[in-house]
Amino acid sequence: MPESPPRVPLIQSPTPLHRLERASDSLGIELWIKRDDLTGFAMGGNKGRKLEYLIADALQSGAEVLVSCGAAQSNFVRQLGAACACFDLKCAAAVMQLPYPKETGEPDVAAMQATNGNVLLDSLVGVDLRVSANGTWEELDTHAETLAVEFEGKRRRVYRIPIGGSSWLGAHAFEQAGVELLAQTADPFDWIVFASSSGSTQTGLARAFHGSATKVLGIACDPEPEMTHDFEALAEEVRARRGGPTLRAPNFHFNLDFVGPAYGVPSEAGNQAIQFLARTEGIFLDPIYSGKAFAGLMDLAERREIGGRVLFWHTGGTPALFAMP
Ligand SMILES: *Cc1c(COP(=O)(O)O)cnc(C)c1O
């Protein structure tokens, strides 16, 4: 296998792994949690792992400005901004309040705050945030490219990062996270359940547990049924560089039943899941990702579609709690 890509240290790892006794009793499964909400870096979250590799790659390329994009409450942009601050890099991001196809109209988000939660933290670490009107993810990508070209026009060396940090390095980071988990426990899990969106968390974990008895189940936070093809393409990119298995779209366990009204809009089931975990275990989930994923876990456990030894991988996101009505 080729040499491991360079990385800079950002997070405290391994992140804690522990059993949830009260929630286990209540749900009738043996439930564990992997605390990537407690990475110790920039208020936690799964993006810190990816950034250890992305920042190292950016530094190696001689970049001065890192350009990415996301929703206004992006946890990735917050952690990217903090990582850039640590390495004296400029961070610029194209953001929009919500991705929403124009033809279907806008959800009612008037009460949502555009200045709190992650947006507040972005401003503290000095992210150059460029806000555009709501539109599709493709439109947002175009805005990010315009931003990158703007800096290049000023003779600044730019490093482009896809949404959510889901380049092959992001997937590699999560394959390593899977290796970290394997070293923490001798007993294999039957299921690993987590919030899935831009793809590198799911692709990395799928590589780490391929061929084992552990099933890696992503709960979608974005209503895009064709996402598994993006996972396949990302897996192929990692395989080209690092070797390992060929993963096809049907190899990914991906559940679209818990998105709720739309990406970035809280769901009733998600809000109930947030309250459940807070009141049984004192652990906070977020309304955009981990709350919806945990709602999925609860529902699937109740219907006996998952069971046995189950790991919930907490991907963070809690600052968004302070930006929702
Ligand atoms: C980004 C994010 C995810 C999804 O991870 P991907 O690698 O983009 O699929 C899940 N939960 C939280 C809190 C996130 O910020």
| Closest C-alpha to 16, from 314, 320, 295, 294 | 314
Report how far residue 37's alpha carbon sits from residue 22's, in angstroms, rounded to the nearest whole number: 20
Mean pLDDT in residue range 21-38: 98
Q: Kindly report the length of the chain.
A: 325
SS3 of residue 287 by DSSP: coil
Query: What's the confidence (pLDDT) of residue 133?
Result: 87
Residue 110 has pLDDT above 60, yes or no: no
Specify the pLDDT at position 97.
Answer: 85
* Percent of the chain whose predicted confidence (pLDDT) is above 90: 90
Could you tell me which residues are beta bridge partners of residue 66?
91, 159
Q: What is the pLDDT of residues 187-229, one digit of tens each?
A: 999 999 999 999 999 999 999 999 999 999 999 999 999 999 9
Active site annotation includes 74: yes
Q: How remote is the CA of residue 198 from the centroid of ligand 1, in Å?
A: 7
Measured in angstroms, how far is the CA atom of residue 286 from the centroid of ligand 1?
Answer: 11
Q: Is the pTM of this model over 0.85?
A: yes
- Pocket of ligand 1, candidates 79, 168, 315, 318: which has the most ligand atoms within 8 Å of its Cβ, to mutate? 315
Q: Tell me, what DSSP letter sits at residue 218? A: E
Q: Per the residue annotation, which of 13, 24, 26, 74 is the catalytic one?
A: 74
Give the pLDDT confidence of 56-85 residue by residue, as tens digits. 999 999 999 999 999 999 999 999 999 999
Distance CA 289, CA 274 (A): 11
Distance CA(111)–CA(287), nearest Å, equals: 15
How many Å lie between the centroid of ligand 1 and the Cα of residue 70? 11
Rounded to an integer, what is the distance from CA 23 to the centroid of its chain?
24
